Amino acid sequence: MNIYSLTFVLIRITVATNYYWRSQGCRMNSTMNEECLCSGTSNGRSLAGSDNRIEDLKMMYENCTRVYGNVEITHLTKATLTNWNDIDFNRKFKIFEHIQEIKGYLLIYNVDIRSIDFPNLKIIWGDDLLDDSGALTLSSNMELKELRMPKLRAIHKGNVRIENSTFLCYLQSKVNWNELLEDEAENRLITSDSAFRQCDPKLIKCSGCKHCWSGKFKYCQEEYRSICDDRCSSRQCYKPTNSSSTYECCHEACTGGCNGRGAHQCVACKELSLDGACVHQCPPMMVHDTKKGMLVPNPQGRYMYDRYCVIECPIIVRMKLLVEELLVERDACVRHCSEGSHHDMTRESRRCEPCKDGICPKVCRVTKVLTGSILRNLTGCEEIDGFIDIQDSKMRSRDGYTLSDLNVLKSVRMISEYVQMATQTVSPRNLSFLENLEFIEGRSLVTSKFALAINKNDNLEQLGLRNLKKIKAGSVIITENHGLCYANTIKWKKIISTNAQALITRNMDGRCEERGRVCDETCDPAQGCWGRGPTMCTKCRYWQLNKSCVKKCPTEG
């Protein structure tokens, strides 16, 4: 497995009681109100991940009930799948067996597997869409014959796109897409000329039902919209167990239908879920006490997280490394503080607090790889709410930038997520544009693991991060920078957290000393340095004058 192998990310939530954290992956629990949430991935069609793609999928999705990101099944080709046959994938691994909801999108791309099962998937929300439009994308799957999702009720937002997948015949003629796309299949189902090329609809049959995902009865599609008559304003119905023919209407708070009467029987909630019942809002954390004439804590209060009312805002667990990802602002779990509020990354707190005297540090939100237009908006930023990701492809693009343009980042002291740079032949010689960076919080990490990832920068000679004091969560990887020295001298254990790692390898390594690339004589040899000269010492050996280490203090001045 390579150095970028995925690290499992999970959240365990108990809706009705409290939160339970596990560091060894999700384990299914007998209580119905306990769920295991996984983060998913956002790699798209790229080859990101390890060489063992099956193991990556198992670590990320096995035993998950809800994926609060995306499910991406990509590049499972015959060339990479050597130790198991096609039958093994569904019968042996059962990787997706417990998934009930996907918050983002489902992507299946370039796979040579004959069938993939999601036996309990009920809804794809589409809050995050592939290429800004795709909630379900099936592309370049020349061997895939069946995608079986018999309990899927709704694809809430986004389109279904099927292309270059010639054998998915049940999806062509036997799946009722209007049922899944809320009667908008004409606009939201997109198929290419290369889809279904090998299909003959006359040969595709269901057993005991009109619509299905595969031939057996257990793969019949669950329908709840097309069976309704006009009297149901929700356009959602269910069939009572004691009835042979009549249908009853689902509650209007439901999405994806229901299993019975009332707001507590919905498959999913249109707005919010509170202890299994659909509601319009969560109970507030503070309520007015008429006797005291003041606000007091509400023992029944809940925070709003995604579409759920929860007792506490979730914490992410990355193997044995706890990462407090979500912040708390008033009655909500948030990723970013609102205007006029601020989260102090250096404190052991997850709360967004009102800025002192109404004056906030200049915080700039960055959620995409750096481009020229993004950089032009970062003048004077003290904190980055997001990440700094520098890629050679963006530097060379139409909206590109030069190395000198990066100097706008010199005012940055804190970054909430991570720093990544992979610039190959256009790389800078150092990271002096981040010389004032003091703190990386690591609330989101590169491949769910790294808070600092400096890889494949051909011209890089020294890091120059002379003010970096702390990486709160996440590991460090600095590799394949063939001209880089000094990084091995840094005492990374003092900067990173206890359970994190620093992987410094395949740089210039043993050739640095022979080329004279060593720490200055005024640096403390036990502490290392960030680069050449007396201003790059981690700690001075003798004396410090301003920002430079010196042997002697001046006798005058």
Q: pLDDT digits over 104-127, tens only?
A: 999 999 998 889 999 999 999 999
Structural domain contains residue 405 = yes
Structural domain contains residue 228 = no
Pair 340, 444 in one domain: no
Average pLDDT (518-543) is 96
The DSSP call for residue 402 is: -
What is the residue-averaged pLDDT of the chain? 87
Query: Distance between CA atoms of 188 and 181, rounded to whole angstroms?
Result: 7
Pair 380, 497 in one domain: yes
Q: Is the pTM of this model over 0.85?
A: no
Structural domain contains residue 133 = yes
Give 388's strand partners. 419
| DSSP β-ladder status, 294-297 and 414-415 | unpaired
Collapsed DSSP state (helix, strand, coil) of residue 58: helix
The candidate with the shortest Cα–Cα distance to 190, out of 221, 220, 153, 161, is: 161
Structural domain contains residue 10 = no
The CATH number for 81's domain is 3.80.20.20
Between 454 and 358, residue with greater pLDDT: 454
| CA 23 and chain centroid, separation | 18
Pair 404, 477 in one domain: yes
What pLDDT, on a 0 to 100 scale, did the predictor assign at position 3? Answer: 42
Pair 191, 295 in one domain: no
Residue finishing a domain among 323, 354, 385: 354
Pair 419, 399 in one domain: yes
Q: Which positions ≥6 away from 316 have C-beta within 8 Å?
A: 9, 10, 11, 39, 322, 323, 324, 325
Does residue 531 carry a pLDDT above 90? yes
The CATH number for 321's domain is 2.10.220.10
Structural domain contains residue 216 = no
What pLDDT, on a 0 to 100 scale, did the predictor assign at position 51? Answer: 66
Pair 58, 193 in one domain: yes
Structural domain contains residue 84 = yes
The candidate with the shortest Cα–Cα distance to 210, out of 187, 198, 226, is: 226
Q: Tally the domains of the chain.
A: 4
- Please count the other Cβ atoms lying within 10 Å of the Cβ belonging to residue 23: 13
What pLDDT, on a 0 to 100 scale, did the predictor assign at position 545? Answer: 92
**Token code pair at residue 85:** 């046959």
Does residue 322 carry a pLDDT above 60? no
What pLDDT, on a 0 to 100 scale, did the predictor assign at position 554? Answer: 85
What confidence tens digit (pLDDT) does each residue in 457-483 have? 999 999 999 999 999 999 999 999 999
Pair 134, 84 in one domain: yes
Average pLDDT (38-54) is 76
Pair 261, 157 in one domain: no
Structural domain contains residue 158 = yes
Between 225 and 5, residue with greater pLDDT: 225
Structural domain contains residue 24 = no
Residue finishing a domain among 320, 354, 388: 354
Confidence of residue 7 (pLDDT cuts 50, 70, 90): very low
Pair 490, 388 in one domain: yes
Average pLDDT (399-419) is 96
State which amino acid sits at residue 24. Answer: Q
Pair 513, 543 in one domain: no
The candidate with the shortest Cα–Cα distance to 182, out of 220, 156, 208, is: 156
Pair 481, 533 in one domain: no
Pair 335, 366 in one domain: no
Residue finishing a domain among 137, 172, 199: 199
- Residue 496: which domain range? 361-517
**Token code pair at residue 376:** 């032009």
Q: Which positions ≥6 away from 443 have C-beta within 8 Å?
A: 323, 324, 325, 416, 417, 473
Confidence of residue 60 (pLDDT cuts 50, 70, 90): confident
State which amino acid sits at residue 80. Answer: T
